[in-house]
A and B are shown apart, each in its own frame.
Chain A
């Protein structure tokens, strides 16, 4: 009984006080309870894909948002995971449950390689150079098409599980675990170092941070997560094709990341959960089905004009305020900070009045 009361108190004091945390909790519960409530196969399929892409988008954010290594070729890791897992399970007959980890490991090696090659590059140079890697891989795949299946890829892979519900749970639970893990990593001391590297690499190095080591680690971690997503994707669709390496996928993840709000982890995940089902849903209408990519691009453009920092920071600023004294976040309806008791709204109004008089 004590434990239950304690858990309830934790929940009320730590989660329900903040609208953003409440939203996240509601989202997790809804995600896990969905098959029991509404087990439509089509909806499950869309959400399984959404979860896989959410892992991919979150891994991009760790690399691009936190560390500032804006990767234009993130599809390389996705494709490396997909192809490794597909080749191993197809040619060697190993169970997908093992090959997915192998896919993530090979993607991690690719992450090290790309990270090593790009250590000295900065800013736009890095973005444009990373764009090249998946295309080099794509050229090699086409040139050795007996091995890789060429344009068609490797099809007829083994399924992970037999029912749509089980597939959904595999994807959604791995998504929750990986995204939460990435978020914890980004929120730790490690994440603070990443912020420092993004904001000023020279200053970070001058402060005694081994920036190459950190950058390599981040490349490897992000690549492993993306490779895991790619391997899941290959076994879910039962095909690993060249589309996993295309520029379109690399750009897609950049759009998701920036649309959701960079350096948040949850932002890109939210963006995938909004944009991917939206485009699929638009595709079901006969009248606009052909125009879905167009509508997608227009929505992204319009949202950006109003929220240039991305969706989640904008929403968060609307529903929460930051305490001017202790920098903790509070629900927007509070008059005083929930932790230190400093006045919230009065101070803001006063500051605005001061600015107005200047």
Chain B
């Protein structure tokens, strides 16, 4: 059981980290609470399913196409729907909720509400320290680790990353320093949604695909982001691992754990917020009254 907890926690934590870091990035740079974030994750899973099973493309081309098309869609949505109402925070909020509902209904209409299974692309598994890990779950871990490294590289070692961090720090000053904050925001949207889409593609063969698969991870992701501190990438990563492990422990070690895993994870978030209202690694937004 201990091994199960270790592996499940790590795999779920990896997926949550991909989602939470994307969400954190876009919140930090554009102050958008993007409720549709996990809807893009759902869209990517469907897109992957359509390309792999319906169109019969290979594993790698369908994955790449799915991520690229969902990212493009997100940028288009941002330009058409979010950008015109950027000054009105409330409007942005329900615009993203409406987008998520639209995607959910479109998928419900075109694929139906039943669960879709994607055949596992990698058979077999490895045994590490007496724990057998299927290759499919290994793939999730490897992709998550690679993507997190890539994001770290982009953010801390490139000019675009510098611009993103500067804009997140202070939008007006970044704009005064000659950065095109609109373009930075758009690049951030693309990066953030690409991370969510990659998460959607890698989990699709392991989890089931259905039009409501965005709700549960959305809540967990929001809990992680709040737990770690809004806009803090380190916080999101550590929060993702904490919540991933807490969920795994609840499921394996508690009676009726499958029902309670969300409640326990959210309860931990509430407790952390009581002790530290700005999350584990958040900065107190004193000046942003």
B279 close to chain A: CB less than 8 A: yes
What range describes how many residues of B lie at the interface? 35 or more
Give chain B residues whose Cβ lies under 8 Å from the Cβ of A127: 33
A25 close to chain B: CB less than 8 A: no
Tell whether, in the assembled complex, residue B97 and residue A255 are in contact, meaning their CB atoms are under 8 Å apart.
Answer: yes
A interface size (C-beta, 8 A): 46
Q: Give the residue of B87, B101, B262, B277 whose beta carbon is less than 8 angstroms from that of A293.
A: B101
A339 close to chain B: CB less than 8 A: no
B273 close to chain A: CB less than 8 A: yes
Q: Give the residue of B90, B101, B219 whose beta carbon is less than 8 angstroms from that of A297.
A: B101
Complex-state Cα separation, A138 to B94, whole angstroms: 24
Complex-state Cα separation, A271 to B115, whole angstroms: 34
What 0/1 pattern do residues 116 to 140 of A give for CB contact below 8 A with B? 0100111111011101110110111
What 0/1 pattern do residues 68 to 104 of B give for CB contact below 8 A with A? 0000000000000100110110110111011101101
Complex-state Cα separation, A128 to B230, whole angstroms: 10
Tell whether, in the assembled complex, residue B289 and residue A200 are in contact, meaning their CB atoms are under 8 Å apart.
Answer: yes
Question: A132-B269, A308-B91 are known contacts. Are A124 and B98 too (CB-CB below 8 A)?
Answer: no
Tell whether, in the assembled complex, residue B285 and residue A122 are in contact, meaning their CB atoms are under 8 Å apart.
Answer: yes
Most chain B Cβ neighbours within 10 Å, of A138, A296, A308: A308
Q: Which of B91-124 contact A (CB under 8 A)?
A: 91, 93-95, 97-99, 101-102, 104-106, 108-109
Give chain A residues whose Cβ lies under 8 Å from the Cβ of B259: 139, 142-143
Q: Which residue of A lies closest to B80 (CB)?
A: A305
Tell whether, in the assembled complex, residue B105 and residue A132 are in contact, meaning their CB atoms are under 8 Å apart.
Answer: no
B263 close to chain A: CB less than 8 A: yes
Tell whether, in the assembled complex, residue B81 and residue A301 are in contact, meaning their CB atoms are under 8 Å apart.
Answer: yes
Complex-state Cα separation, A182 to B31, whole angstroms: 31
Give chain A residues whose Cβ lies under 8 Å from the Cβ of B87: 308
Tell whether, in the assembled complex, residue A300 and residue B98 are in contact, meaning their CB atoms are under 8 Å apart.
Answer: yes
Tell whether, in the assembled complex, residue A294 and residue B109 are in contact, meaning their CB atoms are under 8 Å apart.
Answer: yes
Question: A127-B33, A255-B97, A294-B105 are known contacts. Are A304 and B263 too (CB-CB below 8 A)?
Answer: no
Complex-state Cα separation, A231 to B46, whole angstroms: 39
Minimum CB–CB distance for B285 against chain A, Å: 7
Give chain B residues whose Cβ lies under 8 Å from the Cβ of A294: 101-102, 105-106, 109
What 0/1 pattern do residues 149 to 162 of A give for CB contact below 8 A with B? 00000000000000
Q: Which of B136-193 contact A (CB under 8 A)?
A: none
Tell whether, in the assembled complex, residue B105 and residue A258 are in contact, meaning their CB atoms are under 8 Å apart.
Answer: no
Tell whether, in the assembled complex, residue B109 and residue A255 are in contact, meaning their CB atoms are under 8 Å apart.
Answer: no
Q: Which of A310-325 contact B (CB under 8 A)?
A: 310
Question: A122-B285, A293-B105, A301-B98 are known contacts. Are A129 and B260 too (CB-CB below 8 A)?
Answer: no
Q: Which residue of A lies closest to B257 (CB)?
A: A143
B281 close to chain A: CB less than 8 A: no
Give chain A residues whose Cβ lies under 8 Å from the Cβ of B35: 251
Tell whether, in the assembled complex, residue B94 and residue A300 are in contact, meaning their CB atoms are under 8 Å apart.
Answer: yes
Give chain A residues whose Cβ lies under 8 Å from the Cβ of B226: 125, 128-129
Q: Which of B247-262 contact A (CB under 8 A)?
A: 256, 259-262
Given contacts A120-B274, A297-B99, A298-B102, 19 further A-B contacts (CB under 8 A): A70-B93, A121-B277, A125-B230, A128-B222, A132-B266, A136-B266, A139-B260, A139-B264, A142-B260, A201-B289, A251-B35, A254-B93, A255-B97, A291-B109, A293-B104, A300-B98, A304-B85, A304-B98, A310-B90
User: Which 5 residue pairs spanning A and B have beta carbons closest together?
Assistant: A139-B263, A294-B105, A132-B266, A142-B259, A297-B101
